[in-house]
């Protein structure tokens, strides 16, 4: 086999990448004597008749690679509509749909998908294709039997000891999910203690102090009440020390006290303290009484003067 230098470097680079970061359920083998003797190993997908089996796919690169696809065939016997009894694979990727950008990994992933979704319309094994269309249970039983006899080794291939890319990327998430955190709160002090436990490490505890619980703070509500009592009325009373004037003064004071409205109750609202005007309220008689008192006093003084003149 003769391969140009560019194709050779590409094959070596892809083999090294597949061994370092293999896809899920796919591994690659190489021979120490011939590095171009490449063998792919496909693990039977779960929930298919091929689960539990390991199927080998051989590669042979030609001078036209990568312009044309390499020759590929199943080295492990398999009961599949798109695989002939000699191991030839019927898939469009290895025929008309081939692109020069495709490589070993793309071919192995395509073949693995073919195990999950067989295509009975382009069957190379007519018996398998017919059985798949007419009696799926019989097809599964036959495929499982062939898989258990020819594709199930006693020991798992050593190549699968290397974790795949998807499983290695999900391992940090799994390990982080195994970390258990326990939080305990002590009621008297209100402090919280968080304990984190990770497999393979000592548990660590973190104490967090919180402020003591206090009663909720409430703002006082201030209500402003307006006084509706009228201003005091001032009445001018003449300074005459006579019994009639004293009686008039007492009467006026009693009238003023009656006219005053009571102060609003501290527990009542402003509207309840408003006293509606009364239509039967009598006007104060203070000014009239004062005028009458003044007239009586003047007449008394005039009579005294007449008596004095008569005596003379």
Residue 159 lies in a domain: yes
Residue 90 known to be catalytic: yes
Element (H, E) at 143: helix 136-150
pLDDT of residue 293: 53
Q: How far apart are CA 287 and CA 142, in angstroms?
A: 131
Given the residues 72, 90, 113, 140, select the one marked as catalytic: 90
- Picking from 227, 230, 228, 226, the residue whose alpha carbon sits closest to that of residue 284 is 230
Range of the domain at 125: 5-167
Residue 37 lies in a domain: yes
| Structural domains counted in the chain | 1
Q: Which residues pair with 89 in a beta bridge?
A: 83
Q: Which H or E run includes 193?
A: strand 192-197
> How many CB atoms neighbour CB 273 within 10 A?
18
Residue 88 in any domain: the answer is yes
Determine the pLDDT at residue 288. 52
Whether the Cβ atoms of residue 196 and residue 176 lie closer than 8 Å to each other: no
Per-residue pLDDT of the chain (312 residues; tens, 9 = 90+): 567 888 889 999 999 999 999 999 999 999 888 878 899 999 999 999 999 999 999 999 988 899 999 999 999 999 999 999 999 999 999 998 999 999 999 999 999 999 999 999 889 999 999 999 999 999 999 999 999 999 999 999 998 987 876 655 554 444 444 443 444 444 444 444 545 444 444 444 444 444 444 444 445 454 444 444 444 444 444 444 444 454 544 555 444 444 455 555 444 444 444 444 444 444 444 555 545 555 566 677 777 877 777 776
Residue 228 domain-assigned?
A: no
- What pLDDT was estimated at residue 307? 79
Here the CATH number for the domain that contains residue 52 is: 3.10.110.10
Look at residue 87 in the predicted model and tell me its pLDDT. Answer: 95
Is 307 among the domain residues? Answer: no
Helix (H, G, I), strand (E, B) or coil at 211: coil
Q: What interhelical angle do 5-20 and 104-116 show, nearest 10? A: 50
Instruction: State pTM to two decimals.
Output: 0.55
Predicted pLDDT of residue 233? 47
The pLDDT score that the predictor gives to residue 88 is 95
Q: How far, in Å, CA of 86 to CA of 93, rounded?
A: 19
Asked if residue 221 is part of any domain, the answer here is: no
**Alpha carbons 269 and 226: distance in angstroms, whole number:** 10
Q: Is residue 145 part of a domain?
A: yes
Question: What CA–CA distance (Å, rounded) separates 194 from 246?
Answer: 90
What stretches of 151-233 show up as alpha helix (H) in DSSP? 165-177
Report the run of H or E that residue 47 belongs to, with start and end.
none
């Amino acid at each position: 086999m003769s391969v140009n230098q560019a194709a050779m470097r590409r094959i070596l680079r892809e083999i090294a990448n597949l061994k370092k970061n293999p896809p899920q359920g796919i591994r690659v083998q190489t021979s120490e004597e011939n590095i171009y003797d490449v063998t792919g190993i496909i693990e039977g997908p779960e929930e298919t008749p091929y689960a539990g089996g390991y199927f080998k796919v051989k590669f042979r690169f030609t001078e036209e690679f990568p312009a044309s696809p390499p020759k590929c065939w199943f080295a492990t016997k398999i009961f599949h509509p798109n695989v002939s009894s000699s191991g030839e694979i019927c898939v469009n990727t290895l025929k008309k749909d081939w692109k020069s950008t495709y490589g070993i990994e793309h071919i192995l992933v395509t073949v693995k998908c073919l195990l999950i979704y067989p295509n009975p319309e382009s069957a190379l094994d007519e018996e398998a294709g017919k059985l798949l269309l007419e009696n799926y249970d019989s097809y599964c039983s036959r495929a499982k039997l062939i898989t258990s006899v020819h594709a199930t080794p006693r020991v798992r291939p050593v190549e699968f000891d290397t974790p795949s890319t998807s499983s290695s990327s999900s391992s940090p998430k799994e390990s982080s999910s195994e970390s258990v955190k326990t939080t305990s709160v002590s009621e008297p002090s209100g402090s919280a203690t968080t304990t984190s436990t990770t497999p393979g490490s000592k548990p660590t505890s973190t104490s967090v102090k919180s402020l003591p619980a206090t009663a909720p703070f409430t703002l006082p509500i201030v209500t402003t009440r307006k006084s509706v009592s009228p201003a005091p009325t001032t009445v001018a009373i003449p300074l005459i020390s006579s019994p009639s004037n004293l009686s008039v003064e007492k009467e006026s004071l009693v009238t003023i006290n009656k006219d005053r409205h009571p102060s609003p109750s501290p527990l009542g609202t402003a509207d309840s303290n408003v006293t509606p005007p009364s239509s039967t309220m009598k006007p104060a008689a203070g000014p009239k009484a004062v005028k009458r008192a003044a007239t009586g006093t003047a007449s008394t003084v005039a009579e005294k003067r007449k008596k004095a003149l008569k005596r003379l």
